[in-house]
Amino acid sequence: MNMLLDVAEQQQAYAVKPVSQADILTPEEINRAQPLPAGAEGFIARSRKSIKNILDGSDHRLFIVVGPCSIHDPKAALEYATRLKELAYELGDSFYLVMRVYFEKPRTSVGWKGLINDPYLDGSCRLNEGLAIARQLLIDITRLNLPIATEALDPLSTRYIQDLITWTAIGARTTESQTHRELASGLPSPVGFKNGTDGNLHVAVNAIRASEQAHCFLGINHEGRVSVMRTPGNKDTHIVLRGGAGKPNYDAAHVALCEKLFFQQKLKPRIMIDCSHVNAQNDYRNQLRLLEDVSGQILAGNQSIRALMLESNLYAGSQPLTAGRSALRYGVSVTDQCIGWEETEKHLRKMYVKLRRVLHGRKIRGESPAGQ
């Protein structure tokens, strides 16, 4: 395998055709050129239903969003997906594994904005090609029958890929945004709202309440026309604890405070622990320690932690983009640091052995399917 990104090879593999960069293709045009593969619609509907059931307690499993901080090389991403699918099948009676496939990166100041915005990592901003490459990768991963998670950052780009998404995140910088709350209210997938960058939980609770309601707002339709958008509201939402203001919030005391807030608001606490970002003190190796802590909380009887998130790649660490694309190492993140695949596999198996019995005891009603 070529260990460097090859732009010509990538364009050929993902059937990217040169188009005017001044005009963006409509969602209908791109989706017609790259339709859902046979059977995908049913698989994605079942995947979303699995997460809904985990959130409401009728499925005893944990769902775990795991994968690269961001996608910059579709070839490496697809290799990761192939490995993850095998592990998902192995652990499927207790864990529901969903691949993290993030194409858009919110920046605190400046930096690479992600594969959709800049697919060749050179500032060329070839958005039409970025959208096509991103959609084709989602199609290829879906063919593996592996559920996909992403972050909804640009409200317009979601129209191009949302039919392939099982779970959606609203990030810490946008949870307070009315635009993103309205967007979430119309998404067909379950949605996780992160607490604010300052650690504030109230903004996520308010976002959950707002997105449950029907909304009417300005947006674009599938034909790319500016339209009045009407949404039904999204009841399949939850909070993501990611830490804030330099302090983690994954431990039992913070989880209890989160539960208390939800009960005060007459909401059912449904919590995902983000094992990276501030919770890991921005050290990717700390994610493994968080897995141990969260496992201990579940073993101690916690019922509200329903999900986890890990940043993981083929190889550990990260690398800068400053040296240029030709110097990039294969399978290594170009944004946040990630744990490597071997550690990911090892520690998820270890967690599975530790939690399998207690997770099966969580089952409240109904039967949950084994495997995916």
More confident call, 326 vs 311: 311
Q: Residue 360: is its pLDDT beyond 60?
A: yes
pLDDT recorded at residue 370: 37
Query: Could you tell me which residues are beta bridge partners of residue 219?
Result: 227
Binned at pLDDT 50, 70 and 90, residue 326 comes out as confident
Q: Residue 19: is its pLDDT beyond 70?
A: no
CA distance 144 to 169: 22
pLDDT recorded at residue 23: 83
Which domains occur in the chain, in start order? Answer: 63-358 (3.20.20.70)
Q: Residue 7: is its pLDDT beyond 80?
A: no
For range 13-34, the mean pLDDT: 74
Structure tokens at 298: 């579940």
Pick the range with the lowest mean pLDDT from 146-155, 211-220, 318-327.
Answer: 318-327
pLDDT recorded at residue 105: 80
Binned at pLDDT 50, 70 and 90, residue 4 comes out as very low
Give Cα 200 to chain centroid, integer Å: 21
Counting residues of the chain whose pLDDT is more than 70, the rounded percentage is 90
Mean pLDDT (the chain, rounded): 91
pLDDT recorded at residue 324: 74
φ/ψ (deg, to 5) at 306: -110, -10
Q: Residue 160: is its pLDDT beyond 80?
A: yes
pLDDT recorded at residue 261: 97
pLDDT recorded at residue 372: 46
pLDDT recorded at residue 115: 96
Q: 43-64, pLDDT tens digit by residue?
A: 999 999 999 999 999 999 999 9
pLDDT recorded at residue 21: 57
Sign of the C-alpha dihedral, residues 86, 91, 93, 97? negative
Q: Rounded to whole angstroms, what are the CA distances from 318 to 53, 89, 115, 232, 339?
A: 35, 28, 16, 40, 9
Binned at pLDDT 50, 70 and 90, residue 107 comes out as low
Question: If we measure between CA atoms, which residue out of 315, 152, 295, 134 comes closest to residue 219?
Answer: 152
For range 250-271, the mean pLDDT: 97
Structure tokens at 2: 């070529």
For range 13-25, the mean pLDDT: 60
Q: Residue 108: is its pLDDT beyond 80?
A: no
Reading phi first (left if > 0) and then psi (alpha if -120 to 50, else beta), residue 347 is in: alpha
Q: Residue 307: is its pLDDT beyond 60?
A: yes
pLDDT recorded at residue 277: 93
pLDDT recorded at residue 371: 40
